[in-house]
């Protein structure tokens, strides 16, 4: 099994965290999709990373599908609770929240790389505000808990830490730790995990 991705992609990082936390053997291939000769456009019709290539050649995308597949396929450390529909929904909702933060941060990153006179202020403010609201929601939901959901690590934690650390990378001016001490405390603990350390960009 091979995972195509890059070290700065937060979606790739989420999948790498799942692989590490579940101790699933997988070859990680750094493959920026826009580089000439990249395998990604030939592998994932959407031309995006992460893309997981199974041993029989099957390609799995995008990151929520990959994470769900890996969690269902391998029993080591179940990360998406399998029995209770409400708990399962909340874990997947955390993932959607985290992915949404990543989506908006990527939009802002792409927009910010355009010449200043061509940047769309509405796009920047709409996506900036979405991230601000999502962070406030996450902080309220966490409010002093050790884990996003229940009493153990789930995909929710791995998705959220991937989103927050992507903000550190791309929006270092956004002081989410200062604004939300609940997120700061939770993230500090998460950042001690070997999986998180091993996937630093």
- Residues lying near ligand GSH in the complex (CB under 6 A) are found at 9, 11, 33-34, 47-50, 62-63, 99, 106
d(CA 82, CA 99): 21
- State the minimum distance, in angstroms, from the CB of residue 179 to ligand GSH: 25
Question: Would you say 174 or 184 has its CB closer to ligand GSH?
Answer: 174
Q: Which of 176, 178, 190 is nearest to 148 (CA)?
A: 190
Structure tokens, 85: 């529909």
d(CA 39, CA 4): 8
Ranked by CB distance to ligand GSH, the top (closest) residue is 62
Question: Would you say 12 or 195 has its CB closer to ligand GSH?
Answer: 12
Question: Would you say 181 or 201 has its CB closer to ligand GSH?
Answer: 201
- State the minimum distance, in angstroms, from the CB of residue 61 to ligand GSH: 6
- State the minimum distance, in angstroms, from the CB of residue 166 to ligand GSH: 9
Question: Would you say 46 or 126 has its CB closer to ligand GSH?
Answer: 46
- State the minimum distance, in angstroms, from the CB of residue 132 to ligand GSH: 21
- State the minimum distance, in angstroms, from the CB of residue 36 to ligand GSH: 13
CB 92 within 8 A of CB 127: no
d(CA 23, CA 195): 10
Question: Would you say 44 or 180 has its CB closer to ligand GSH?
Answer: 44
Query: Helices marked H in the chain — which ranges?
Result: 10-21, 40-43, 63-73, 85-112, 121-142, 155-170, 176-179, 181-190, 194-198
């Amino acid at each position: 099994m091979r995972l195509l991705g890059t070290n700065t992609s937060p979606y790739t990082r989420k999948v790498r965290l799942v692989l590490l936390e579940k101790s699933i053997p997988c070859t990680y291939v750094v493959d920026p999709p826009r580089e000439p000769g990249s395998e990604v456009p030939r592998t994932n019709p959407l031309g995006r990373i992460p893309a997981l290539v199974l041993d029989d050649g099957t390609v799995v995308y995008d990151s929520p599908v990959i994470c769900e597949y890996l969690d269902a396929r391998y029993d080591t450390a179940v990360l998406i609770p399998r029995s209770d529909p409400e708990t399962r929904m909340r874990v997947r909702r955390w993932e959607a929240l985290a992915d949404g933060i990543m989506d908006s941060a990527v939009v802002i990153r792409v927009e910010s790389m355009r010449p200043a006179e061509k940047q769309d202020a509405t796009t920047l403010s709409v996506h900036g505000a979405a991230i601000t609201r999502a962070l406030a929601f996450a902080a309220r939901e966490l409010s002093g808990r050790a884990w996003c959901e229940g009493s153990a690590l789930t995909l929710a934690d791995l998705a959220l830490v991937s989103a927050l650390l992507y903000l550190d990378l791309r929006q270092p001016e956004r002081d989410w730790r200062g604004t939300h001490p609940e997120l700061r405390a939770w993230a500090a603990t998460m950042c001690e995990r070997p999986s998180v350390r091993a996937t630093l960009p």
